[in-house]
Amino acid sequence: MPASAFWAIFDTEGLWQIISLSLGVSLTASALASLAGVSLGSVLAVCSFPGRRLFVILTNAFLGLPPVVVGLTLYLLLSRSGPLAVTGLLFTPEAMVLAQFVLATPIVTAFVHRAVETAWGRYGGALMVDGASRLRAVPHLLAVERIPVLVAILAGFGRTVSEVGAILIVGGNIAGYTRTMTTAIVLETSKGNLSLALGLGFVLIGVSIAVSAAIFALGMRGGRWWW
Amino acid sequence: MVRAVLVIALAATIFSHHPGHAADQPPAQSIMLASTTSVDNSGLLGHILPLFTKETGITVRVLAQGTGQALATAAHGDADLVLVHDPEAEQKFMTEGHGVDRRQIAWNDFIVVGPRSDPAHIAGGHDAAAALTAIAEVRALFVSRGDNSGTDALEHRLWRAAEIDPAKTGGSSWYRDIGGGMGAALNTASAIGAYTLSDRGTWLSFGNKGGLAVLVEGDPRLLNRYDVILLDPKKHPEAKQEAARRLAEWLISPQGQDAINGFKIDGEQLFHPLAVSPK
């Protein structure tokens, strides 16, 4: 790519807004997915209840949930002629958060379940002897499995920040409103501006590496203070 | 770990206060326009809509889809008005009671583009159906949108006029149905050296022409008219009728027509206002 084409990226109209919307949507979705996934994964690992196995199997099956199908399903639900029309969420950033939350939650849940289950097998007996209830053992288990759980959260973030199929359908790629890094790349490719599209891709990769590194570093430090 | 979640949540809160977020724009002041990629990707809407917004304070959010998908979005009630270019599909939309007040706002034309080597020898012609016949005869590569868009619909009408069914004439060996937008079709045609049918607006603003050139133009059948249609309040009471009507009326007003007339890329006019419309 010629150098001039690279610098043209920074002339892209609303580039910073596109980056901040991308990060805003993906971070919100992955924060919610992390809360839901860490809780669900832990409960699935330490508690036994009817249907638990089925739940675990479904969670693992949803690791490969196709984004376009999630997008299309949400579109039909949120459409003005759909059952959730009153929410008025279609073609908004909030709808994109919802779609990415649905995609990332199974990933965090499955990875956390796996990590906590291992720790439970190893230390569960000892923790129970100490008189802790199963759920009260969870923070200790998460502390032991800090790195795998952090990786689970990063995998969730990775899924959200790179995704395009679902947000294109429920967000609509509206300029200045629901256009993100990934949908902008699709758009510039379709306009034949291939080097600009590729440049935006590099910016996206750089931003996502920086954010992942920050989450990991802060998570590790936080772990040392809190546990 | 708990902290990692908190960090993400905090960052999310900071980033979610970006400009252009839902909370900053009262919904009454914005309308959803379902439109085609040709008027949006070419830059026309980006050129004229800010003028409308400045005049009226109404923000227009553009969904750039193919005509087929744009009409389907509107039929679901998910847009407040449409700007499309497929007379037959528009007629069906009107007949089904979804739309009112269909008005032409601009026009340009379609062109047949293809490799400069021109294996079917169609360059310089003014008969689109004859060009397609020549392409089919030598089985030269042809990229079809196959996405139910206005351009796709015209392509199928032209094949019917040529009395050829490409699917039954050697099928995918030369006729490539890519199921994508105009840009995707041009990217594909450029990559494999194929012919394709394009609207002039997308072509002129397209950045990856490669070895492609305009080969056939000037057939009256290649006229491309853009119409704006409002949603029928009886069927779609939730559509923002008043604001949508202001946009439709602005587009045919002297100000709107001037704005369309003034949009040029490298000195070339992409869309023509109604005043010079061929009858």
Distance of residue A78 Cα from the nearest chain B Cα, in angstroms: 9
- Do B257 and B269 lie in a common domain? yes
ipTM of predicted complex: 0.81
Which contiguous run of DSSP H or E holds residue B143? strand B142-144
Look at residue B203 and tell me if it is in a domain.
yes
The residues of chain B scoring below 70 in pLDDT are 1-28, 275-279
Tokens of B40: 């949006």
Q: How many CB atoms lie within 10 A of CB B152?
A: 22
Judged by a CB distance cut-off of 8 A, whether residue B7 touches chain A is: yes
Give the number of residues written for chain B. 279
CB contact under 8 A, A17 and B18: yes
Most A CBs within 10 Å, among B3, B8, B14, B186, to test the A interface: B8
Among residues 62-81 of chain A, which lie with CB inside 8 Å of chain B? Answer: 79-81
Last residue of a domain, one of B222, B242, B261: B222
Judged by a CB distance cut-off of 8 A, whether residue A17 touches chain B is: yes
- Do B152 and B166 lie in a common domain? yes
Look at residue A43 and tell me if it is in a domain.
yes
Please tell me the predicted confidence (pLDDT) of residue A31: 97
CATH code of the domain covering residue B188: 3.40.190.10
- Do B98 and B232 lie in a common domain? yes
- Do B99 and B153 lie in a common domain? no
Judged by a CB distance cut-off of 8 A, whether residue B4 touches chain A is: yes
Please tell me the predicted confidence (pLDDT) of residue A136: 87
Look at residue A219 and tell me if it is in a domain.
yes
- Do B212 and B135 lie in a common domain? yes
Residues of B in contact with A24 (CB under 8 A): 12, 15-16, 18
Look at residue B195 and tell me if it is in a domain.
yes
Judged by a CB distance cut-off of 8 A, whether residue A8 touches chain B is: no
Classify residue B27 by its DSSP letter: G
Look at residue B67 and tell me if it is in a domain.
yes
Look at residue B183 and tell me if it is in a domain.
yes
Look at residue A6 and tell me if it is in a domain.
no
- From CA B239, how far away is CA A135, in angstroms rounded? 50
Please tell me the predicted confidence (pLDDT) of residue B100: 93
Look at residue A128 and tell me if it is in a domain.
yes
Do the beta carbons of residue B60 and residue B49 sit within 8 Å?
yes
Count: domains in chain A: 1
Judged by a CB distance cut-off of 8 A, whether residue A214 touches chain B is: yes
Distance of residue A87 Cα from the nearest chain B Cα, in angstroms: 13
Which of B147, B152, B148, B155 lies closest to B179, judged by CA?
Answer: B147
CB contact under 8 A, A187 and B41: yes
Look at residue B7 and tell me if it is in a domain.
no
Tokens of B150: 């206005």
Look at residue B13 and tell me if it is in a domain.
no
- Do B63 and B161 lie in a common domain? no
Instruction: Give Cβ neighbours of residue B246 (< 8 Å, ≥ 6 apart).
Output: B56, B58
Judged by a CB distance cut-off of 8 A, whether residue B22 touches chain A is: yes
The residues of chain A scoring below 50 in pLDDT are 1, 225-227
Residues of B in contact with A221 (CB under 8 A): 3
Residues of B in contact with A176 (CB under 8 A): 20
Measured distance between the N- and C-terminal CA atoms of chain A, rounded to whole angstroms: 48
Which residue range forms the structural domain that includes residue B64? 28-108+224-276
Please tell me the predicted confidence (pLDDT) of residue A126: 85
Distance of residue A94 Cα from the nearest chain B Cα, in angstroms: 9
- Do B100 and B32 lie in a common domain? yes
Classify residue A191 by its DSSP letter: T
Among residues 231-250 of chain B, which lie with CB inside 8 Å of chain A? Answer: 236, 238
Look at residue B19 and tell me if it is in a domain.
no
Look at residue A93 and tell me if it is in a domain.
yes
Judged by a CB distance cut-off of 8 A, whether residue B254 touches chain A is: no
Q: How many CB pairs under 8 A join A and B?
A: 143
Kindly calculate the radius of gyration of chain A based on its CA atoms and give it in whole angstroms: 20
Distance of residue B208 Cα from the nearest chain A Cα, in angstroms: 4
- Do B164 and B190 lie in a common domain? yes
CATH code of the domain covering residue A117: 1.10.3720.10
- Do B217 and B122 lie in a common domain? yes
Count: domains in chain B: 2
Judged by a CB distance cut-off of 8 A, whether residue A146 touches chain B is: yes
For A177, the closest of B20, B190, B208 (CB atoms) is B20
Look at residue A201 and tell me if it is in a domain.
yes
The three-class DSSP label of residue B277 is coil
For B63, the closest of A91, A92, A194 (CB atoms) is A91
CB contact under 8 A, B5 and A194: no
Do the beta carbons of residue A182 and residue A204 sit within 8 Å?
yes
**Model's pTM, two decimal places?**
0.86
Which residue range forms the structural domain that includes residue A107? 14-226
- Do B158 and B218 lie in a common domain? yes
Judged by a CB distance cut-off of 8 A, whether residue B264 touches chain A is: no
Look at residue A7 and tell me if it is in a domain.
no
Look at residue B41 and tell me if it is in a domain.
yes
Query: Mind giving me the DSSP string for A37-64?
Result: HHHHHHHHHH---TTHHHHHHHHHHGGG
- From CA B115, how far away is CA A57, in angstroms rounded? 53
Using CA coordinates, name the residue in chain B closest to A23.
B15
The stretches of chain B forming alpha helices (DSSP H) are: 2-15, 37-41, 44-56, 67-75, 87-95, 128-137, 150-161, 182-192, 200-205, 241-252, 254-261
Please tell me the predicted confidence (pLDDT) of residue B25: 43
- Do B139 and B48 lie in a common domain? no
Look at residue A218 and tell me if it is in a domain.
yes
- Do B33 and B115 lie in a common domain? no
